Structure 1
Amino acid sequence: MNKNKFSSFFLSLACVVTLNSCSDYLEVENLSNTAEKQQFDSAPDTFAALVGVYNSAMGDNTYGQRMNLILSQSGDDFRTSGDYNANDRRGVSCFGAIPTNTELLRPFLDTYTGIERANLVIKNIPLSPVYQTGSAADKKLMDRYLGEALTLRAMFYFDLIKNWGDIPFQDKPSADLPSVYLPKTDRDIIYDQILEDLAQASTLVPWKSEGGTTAQRLSKAAVKGLRARIALARAGYSLRRSPQLMVQGTNPQKYYQIAYDECKEIINSGQHKLNPSYEGLFRSLHTNSPDTTNEIIFAIGAFGGNSRTDSKIGYYNGLRHDDSDWKSAGGISAIPTYFYEFGKNDLRRDVNIAIFRVSTSKQEDLQTSINWNDGKFRKSWTSITGTSQNLGIDWPLLRYADILLMFAEADNQIHSAPSQEAIDAVMAVRQRAYAGNIGQVGTIPTSKNDFFKYIVQERLLEFGGEGLRKYDLIRWNLLETKINETRQKLTDFMNGTGAYANVPEYIFYKKPASTVVNYVPTKTAQQNVLDMDIYVNGINKADVFYNPNQSVATPSGYTKINWRLAMTQPYINGDPVKSYAYYFQPNKKELLPIALDVINSNYNLTQDYGY
């Protein structure tokens, strides 16, 4: 089923599917037994119910904006733009969110809606007459739907756990429970259950080549990849309630082995490979073009031009456009030192980080270092113009690059040093990043500790802005460490010391004439940067960002843009409104508070973690 057909099917079913969203936490679905049975009395009707489960991952409250672009952007790569406010998106990014924060309620509720819908599908498929007495072909279809529902439910529970820790767990529809006022369940119990569910689902969901699936629909590799990701989280650290400390999960080697096995099977399947173009991979999401390499294993779909099923990806985040044709907000800002984590010829740098904005006259305006944005998503890479905020850009939840790096990480943990297979997996990711400059890839270390550090760094470079970094740092118990390291790096950046001794204080940039349009979205992200009229003073333009200033006087016709000089002490620490990660507290802020309305609706639910 092609993307447009699949999207149209989602849209047509959005209003007719009987498994409607519940408006309150764990509200019982209003379905009679007869209506519930009728929903599953044929394969097409069952698929309609399954579409309702997929639908729960879409829209502003989940992977259209909040789950991926707001709750997750608190690492050492990006932060939400703007000054701190405890009750909005900036409170989340600064680790200062409180239970009344407006960004917390709907992701929690809508994710439980998805769980409720999945539970109805999981319960009713085995009871369906199609499943019990239907044709072999129909039963195979129903098995596939069951596997997809199990996988989506696992994904929803993982989203809840990584943001809120222990949460209420139910594996039955609300109407079948003696009470919907559930207490919290230990996350390890939930993890173990959903890992079992995913093991079952992997036997039911076909490989991409067998099922004719698009990236917007789950395949066997998506099931296995999600299982590997959850297994690594189960093996890693998380904030516990009693005592309130970061603690590693029990029996971690068991879960590293699960991650290793699942990733290796995906690698050996031949179903997926790296797209040779890092930038091309993300551009394909903007044009609904097939990723012919199948690097995008699973993407959350977006369609319909509305807040329920579409996304604000590329409008809320990404390259900022002030022009009327591609108006977009630039709601996520790069940590300035992230730019310098990349090698000079790493092609990922200019895709991940937009150091310019597009002016009202479609010109590239070089920005000071504290005003850079994420750049993987750009409205100008779509065909949509005007002020529209819904761009139909799917969210790449799982990529083959992640499979390679998860495999390498698990291999290193199991064998106490990386195997050649693990080194080769990381090398494949590195070589793409340095296409055209392979000689600069560097040497990958072979000791356990050094290889792990290399993986930590490589994931920072590969997945910037993709909503993984914060949760990676938490499971490695490195969030506090990396926040402190970043503050020191920002201090060195401000002072021009250490690794930043050769970073210029400012850069001279000449704006084009008012009638000249110099932003061309069909050019590569790297070429967009090189196209800017930057004063080079006898050096290569690509080297300007890595050389101290040779002259203080501003050349005629040029504007001085603060580079290092834009960094000030209030950005680093001491300012409760502007400082990076100012409100972070170890053994507390690794998790978010549960929204007050949710706590008030369930007398068995506790807030915990000092909130």
Structure 2
Amino acid sequence: MNTKRYIKILGVSLILLTFNSCDDYLDVNSPSNTSESEVYNDTDYTYSALIAVYNQLAGDNGYGNRISSIIGQAADDFKTSGDYSCNDRRGISMYAACATNTELDRPFRQLYTGIERANLLIFNIPNSTVYTTGSNSDKALMDRYYGEALTLRAQFYYELIRNWGDVPFQDKPSSQYEHIFLPKTDRDEVYEVLLADLEKASKVIPWRAESNDPTSRVTKAYVKGLRARIALARAGYSLRRNPVQMVKGTDANKYYQIARDETFDIMQQRGSHNLNPNYEDVFRAINEGRMDNTNEMIFQVGAFGGNSRTDSKLGYYNGLRHNAASKWNGGGGLTALPTYFYEFNRYDQRRDVTINVFEINADDLSQVVKIDALTDGKFRKSWTKVTGPSQNLGINWPVLRFADVLLMYAEAENELNAGPTASAIEALREVRARAFSQNPSQMPEVNVGGHDAFFKEIVQERLLEFGGESIRKYDLIRWNLLGDVVTQTRQKLQRLLDGTGEYVNVPKYIYYKVGSYTPSQNAQQTVLSLDTYFVGTDKGNVFYAPSAASTPTGYTRINWQTAMVATMINDERKGWMQYYKANHSELLPIFQDIINTNYNLTQDYGY
């Protein structure tokens, strides 16, 4: 063990505790100038301070649970299970969260704690002795730390803005302000700073192929990918304060060009990251605690330590439902919309990775669930090595994948050229072809009939590709399609309830026998191996053809289409996105106690 490095890390951890000893919004105690100087005049100390910034991404109040699985899950793919209350996670999912909803409190505070920690590095590194007079290697190292701090600060602000809109912008440590009761800053001003910061960071952070760092640490591909995301957000729609309505960003083509150029650069570096030919492996890898086979995962939030501050509840709160008495115990906090299951072509390999049509019972056996109990499948406790009642599974949260880079590129190209270019079509087709690699003849061809037709292809492909990854909600908002999708999905749910239109052949029942469960089996094989009754040779059609009139001997009948009830569509406690209201619901309220501690902070957006 490197004792000197260990002592330094321990020492800087104690210093960082003094930075964040108070939970009040932006109320951060600063260390003495001497202590701060010591931290940033030593590369080991500075690295430890940087790790403390990364830590603010993790845990229950970060991407380990609330930001990933609660705040971001409310679209036409997944929703929070259970009945409405404005003061818990269901209020968020149904678009009627109160300002007293405690789920919104600590995530907001933690994002600002991350910003404060990042600001300390950004402020101190350029003035440190090791940076100004140190060796070339030390200066290069400090440059990288500086770039990583800029990138992480951009991530924290991006998350704040897409959930709460205009927020106070603090770009220096709290100790450098006369007071910290800052008013809101227009998001466009913040975006301009972040875009410039990320351009600067991209010059000092290496590609993954140039270093051996895992994807839980920022590389150049993520810097550029985040810059593309922010540029698309800046170009797109967002809910404004005055007047309170959805407005498209000004000078949109300038930002589409940034998104196009940054994603293009990443696509030229396939030695660092590439599309994994095996969709399931991307998610198996994060459950198994390893890199996926082609490093498609560009950046993920690391989870470790078995505690609520640094680990995650992915696979325990959400994911495949395992009975509490089973070997695994956990999952089921999110449910898929029944209509989402039928958005997938039956030959699309993403369906069975993304959505579970089964659960694990108390005897560790698989059994089919009703159509209103489908769960998200990318996080499964039984894909990890953890058994028993443990809630922290060490599963990382996926922030950016190479597939997203390809689809952002296709979108930007389509916008800039008023229609799809050959390279845009190829980028989208590459993502879709991976999903149909086992049945290429069944792949729907890309509609390239013009800007609008290709845009619809992008909207649909992103729905299928990123289910359960807390991307869909924000896509729909920046496209200003959330209201349209609410209307369209309610109509689809009604047709499924009625068994009409595209759902006319959906079976009323599924007949099944409880069967063995082998977690090592791939997702598609697991579904095909379910002991379901089907009249015909192609068992894969069991969810797409009318069911038998009576229950076959030895089988259990479970409601499928007949599990649909009107309360799923329009009910004050159970209705899907029941309280969505245009020009209001696109953003969340700030927790009221945070408003109360800052006399310059306003609630806005009708809350």
| TM-score (normalizing by structure 2) | 0.97
Distance 1:562 1:106 in 2: 40
| Structure 1 position 449 matched with structure 2 position 447 | no
Match of 2:561, as an amino acid? R
Match of 2:287, as an amino acid? H
Distance 1:367 1:9 in 2: 53
1:56 aligns with: 56
1:418 aligns with: 420
CA shift for structure 1 position 511: 2.6
CA shift for structure 1 position 442: 2.1
**Greater Cα offset, 266-275 or 294-303:** 266-275
Give a deviation string over 1:264-291, Cα, whole Å, max 9, x none: 0000122211111111110011112222
| Structure 1 position 538 matched with structure 2 position 536 | yes
Report SS of the residue matched to 2:79.
Answer: strand
1:583 aligns with: 579
2:184 aligns with: 184
Distance 2:90 2:580 in 1: 13
2:3 aligns with: none
CA shift for structure 1 position 438: 0.9
Task: Tell me if structure 2 keeps the 8 A contact 1:324–1:387.
Answer: no
1:568 to 534, 540, 565: 565
Report SS of the residue matched to 2:400.
Answer: strand
CA shift for structure 1 position 598: 0.3
Give a deviation string over 1:15-70, Cα, whole Å, max 9, x none: 54535434111113331111111111111111111111101101000100000100
| Structure 1 position 527 matched with structure 2 position 529 | no
Give a deviation string over 1:287-306, Cα, whole Å, max 9, x none: 12222311000010000000
Task: Tell me if structure 1 keeps the 8 A contact 2:341–2:355.
Answer: yes
CA shift for structure 1 position 508: 1.2
2:554 aligns with: 557
| 1:390 to 1:10, Cα distance in 2 relative to 1, 3 A | farther
Distance 1:286 1:99 in 2: 34
Give runs of aligned pairs for residues 55-454 of structure 1, distance below 5 A: 55-270=55-270, 271-322=272-323, 323-446=325-448, 447-454=450-457
2:597 to 596, 601, 604: 601
Match of 1:26, as an amino acid? L
Match of 2:533, as an amino acid? Y
Give runs of ≥4 in structure 1 deviating > 4 Å.
8-15
Distance 2:418 2:357 in 1: 40
Match of 2:398, as an amino acid? P
Root-mean-square deviation over aligned CA pairs: 1.5
Task: Tell me if structure 1 keeps the 8 A contact 2:274–2:402.
Answer: yes
Task: Tell me if structure 2 keeps the 8 A contact 1:147–1:205.
Answer: yes
1:503 aligns with: 506
* Unpaired stretches in structure 2, ≥5 consecutive residues: 1-5
Match of 1:283, as an amino acid? R
CA shift for structure 1 position 325: 1.8
Distance 2:442 2:534 in 1: 23
Task: Tell me if structure 2 keeps the 8 A contact 1:11–1:304.
Answer: no
Give a deviation string over 1:342-381, Cα, whole Å, max 9, x none: 0010000001001111000011111110011000000000
Match of 1:294, as an amino acid? N
Distance 1:401 1:301 in 2: 20
Report SS of the residue matched to 2:558.
Answer: strand
Give a deviation string over 1:424-444, Cα, whole Å, max 9, x none: 111111111011111122211
CA shift for structure 1 position 456: 0.2
1:467 aligns with: 470
| 1:269 to 1:371, Cα distance in 2 relative to 1, 3 A | same
1:486 aligns with: 489
Report SS of the residue matched to 2:119.
Answer: helix
Task: Tell me if structure 1 keeps the 8 A contact 2:12–2:39.
Answer: no
Task: Tell me if structure 1 keeps the 8 A contact 2:326–2:360.
Answer: no
| 1:285 to 1:185, Cα distance in 2 relative to 1, 3 A | same
Give a deviation string over 1:405-432, Cα, whole Å, max 9, x none: 0000000000111111111111111111
| 1:440 to 1:174, Cα distance in 2 relative to 1, 3 A | same
Give runs of aligned pairs for residues 20-59 of structure 1, distance below 5 A: 20-21=19-20, 22-59=22-59
Task: Tell me if structure 1 keeps the 8 A contact 2:8–2:44.
Answer: no
| 1:523 to 1:272, Cα distance in 2 relative to 1, 3 A | same
Distance 2:479 2:279 in 1: 26
| 1:11 to 1:424, Cα distance in 2 relative to 1, 3 A | farther
Report SS of the residue matched to 2:528.
Answer: helix
Report SS of the residue matched to 1:104.
Answer: helix
Task: Tell me if structure 2 keeps the 8 A contact 1:350–1:526.
Answer: yes
Distance 2:408 2:278 in 1: 21
| TM-score (normalizing by structure 1) | 0.96
1:4 aligns with: none
Match of 1:470, as an amino acid? K
Match of 1:90, as an amino acid? R
CA shift for structure 1 position 217: 0.4
**Greater Cα offset, 9-18 or 60-69:** 9-18
Task: Tell me if structure 2 keeps the 8 A contact 1:10–1:51.
Answer: no
Give a deviation string over 1:61-110, Cα, whole Å, max 9, x none: 01000001000000000000111111001110010100011100000000
Distance 2:15 2:30 in 1: 13
Distance 1:279 1:10 in 2: 41
Task: Tell me if structure 2 keeps the 8 A contact 1:229–1:259.
Answer: yes
Task: Tell me if structure 2 keeps the 8 A contact 1:17–1:48.
Answer: no
Distance 1:180 1:507 in 2: 59
2:480 to 477, 480, 485: 477
Distance 1:256 1:29 in 2: 41
Task: Tell me if structure 2 keeps the 8 A contact 1:317–1:330.
Answer: yes
Identity %: 56
Give a deviation string over 1:203-235, Cα, whole Å, max 9, x none: 111111112211100000010000001100000
Report SS of the residue matched to 2:112.
Answer: helix
**Greater Cα offset, 139-148 or 555-564:** 555-564
| 1:591 to 1:13, Cα distance in 2 relative to 1, 3 A | farther
Task: Tell me if structure 2 keeps the 8 A contact 1:333–1:371.
Answer: yes
Report SS of the residue matched to 1:241.
Answer: coil
Distance 1:460 1:490 in 2: 17
| 1:296 to 1:17, Cα distance in 2 relative to 1, 3 A | farther
Task: Tell me if structure 2 keeps the 8 A contact 1:147–1:202.
Answer: yes
* Unpaired stretches in structure 1, ≥5 consecutive residues: 1-7, 513-517
Match of 1:311, as an amino acid? S
